[in-house]
Amino acid sequence: MALSIERGPSPFPSPRRAGRGQTVAGIRGAAFAAIVAVLVALSAPRSVRANGAFPDSENILTPEDRPQDIVLVTNFGLLSSTDGGATWLWSCEQDGNALGTLYQLTPLPRNRLFTLANQALAYSDDRSCGWQMAGGAVSGQSLTDAFLDPVSGTRVLAIGVANQMYSLFQSTDAGTTFGPALYQAAAGQNMTGVEIARSDANIVYLAMRNSEAAPLLGRSTDGGAHFTIQDLSTDLGPGLLRIIAIDPQDPNRVLFRFLGSTDQSIALTVDGGMTVSKPVTVNGNFNSYTRLSSGTILVSGMAEFSTRPALFRSHDRGTTFEEVPSPPALRALSQRNGLVYGAADNFGDGYALGTSADEGTTWKALMTYADVDAINPCLKAQCQTSCDAQVQVALWSADVCSADPPVGGTDGGGGAAGTGGSGPPGPKSGGGCSCETNPQRPAAASTLLALLFATLTIARRGRARGRGRGRAARTPGRARPRA
């Protein structure tokens, strides 16, 4: 189970020594060229990068019924693996999923991928090769949230707003079409999130807020047709309420993210919203959540006025949390069979995706952006311009744009179809750390020093791994750093 909470920086790696046959002057020359490319990219039009931001990760999908599949959602497209992380394909953003957030995936056999993009619900039945838009009653609405029933795989609830009126819509055909509004908020109320209880599909929660900034919680026991509204301002104060997750066994137990005027909190109700407590509060933000099969809950974010990565862990279903020391700068969390997947800071932590086998205490690198092997075959022509832009900022090498997928690295249709073992390959060499609903995307004008240092690291890594063997010579199990 995984969630990017908005549905929603740690120290830079140590410089590496020159690879065999390299000179210090050669490294400096490559670094200078890469720095120039970064500066050019940052001053170039928005089209250079999908959203004008510096490359970063946003969400992770690790479906239980596809034990080798991993999808890393980034702000420049989707990175997917069907072999547990040994090989990676890239799908650039298209018109249908441009600036997409809140990616969700139906269980088999449908294998439909959803995203909220351009205030509409888009879906792909071939894992991002092509996208279609949901129709029906949501046409003309600006959609702000959507939730896929993880049990049925066919029921989708979506929040839409038109003429300043918020409404809840339902689809029973996996998001293809939506019927008339199930429920409409009162004038002056807005809806900030919706979720269906896994253990009882008739129970639906709506996070809301009124014109006085009071956090409201709606609870329905008839599938969303009627809601009982509770004002939670006595327990929480004024602010914005967002749903993190409903306990999979107890539909009365719900975790929230609460954005107050000066801080953020993890909030918990154990009685269906009658009362709410705040077990964790930070001067910063929370960005992601996952719940392990053991019941352990992990929530990541940034503390101390968003200057320090933070990871909180609960062994009592969210009643209390402990802070995990020295975590990577996690952007997203997911889990499968007890293994935690974390989207880290590719340039600060030295890897984009890592794993933890001890509930977040220690981490191992699984992949970096530079480890992308090829473009998704169904999008090879469409993604060339965007791929060239990634090369210009030294995100990966130029051969990615022309390479064919490694044998066994794709199911041939752009979809993830792995059915092998439940774990990823071993940690990659040179990376790792031994120790955000949808987080806001970082601005392109991030600290220049950080960009220059990250670029230097990329240039060194690219030259070191380019010596003596090409990308085609890689073997799936070979250890290598991942971001």
Q: Report the CATH number at residue 146.
A: 2.130.10.10
Residue 337 has pLDDT above 90, yes or no: yes
Please indicate whether residue 135 or residue 461 has the higher confidence score (pLDDT).
135
Q: What is the pLDDT of residues 56-92, one digit of tens each?
A: 999 999 999 999 999 999 999 999 999 999 999 999 9
Cis status, amide bond into 481, omega within 30 of 0: no
Residue 483 in any domain: the answer is: no
Q: Which domain holds residue 111?
A: 2-473
Angle, vertex CA 286, rays to CA 359 and CA 282, nearest 5: 100
Q: Alpha-carbon torsion 146, 159, 207, 204, what sign? A: negative
Residue 480 in any domain: the answer is: no
Q: For residue 108, what pLDDT band results from cuts at 50, 70 and 90? A: very high
Q: Which two tokens stand for residue 203?
A: 């129970």
Quote the pLDDT of residue 139: 96
Antiparallel, parallel or unpaired: β 77-81 and 89-91: antiparallel
Contact criterion met (CB below 8 Å) for 299 and 266: yes
Quote the pLDDT of residue 127: 84
Quote the pLDDT of residue 408: 63
Q: For residue 16, what pLDDT band results from cuts at 50, 70 and 90? A: very low
Residue 479 in any domain: the answer is: no
Residue 360 in any domain: the answer is: yes
Q: What is the pLDDT of residues 423-450, one digit of tens each?
A: 444 433 333 332 333 333 333 333 344 4
Mean pLDDT of the chain: 81
Amino acid present at 266: I
Residue 174 gets the label, from left (phi > 0), alpha (psi -120 to 50) or beta, of: left
Q: For residue 407, what pLDDT band results from cuts at 50, 70 and 90? A: confident
Q: For residue 217, what pLDDT band results from cuts at 50, 70 and 90? A: very high
Residue 296 in any domain: the answer is: yes
Reduced to 3 states (helix: H, G, I; strand: E, B; else coil), residue 309 is strand
Q: Alpha-carbon torsion 230, 247, 104, 334, what sign? A: positive
- Residues 329-357 have a mean pLDDT of 98
Query: Which phi and psi (to 5°) does residue 43 adopt?
Result: -95, -5
Query: Which phi and psi (to 5°) does residue 152 adopt?
Result: -75, -35
Residue 119 has pLDDT above 90, yes or no: yes
Count the domains in the chain: 1
Quote the pLDDT of residue 410: 53
Residue 137 in any domain: the answer is: yes
Q: Which two tokens stand for residue 86?
A: 């040994």
Cis status, amide bond into 109, omega within 30 of 0: yes
Quote the pLDDT of residue 54: 87
Q: For residue 420, what pLDDT band results from cuts at 50, 70 and 90? A: very low
pTM (global) more than 0.85:
no
Q: What is the pLDDT of residues 347-359, one digit of tens each?
A: 999 999 999 999 9
Residue 458 has pLDDT above 70, yes or no: no
Please indicate whether residue 392 or residue 2 has the higher confidence score (pLDDT).
392
Q: Determine what percent of the chain is predicted with pLDDT higher than 90.
A: 72
Q: Nearest-CA neighbor of 334 among 355, 348, 352, 315? A: 355
- The enclosing H or E element of 267 equals strand 264-269
Residue 481 in any domain: the answer is: no
Residue 482 in any domain: the answer is: no
Question: Number of C-alpha atoms within 13 angstroms, CB side, residue 457?
Answer: 25
Q: Which two tokens stand for residue 227?
A: 């809601």
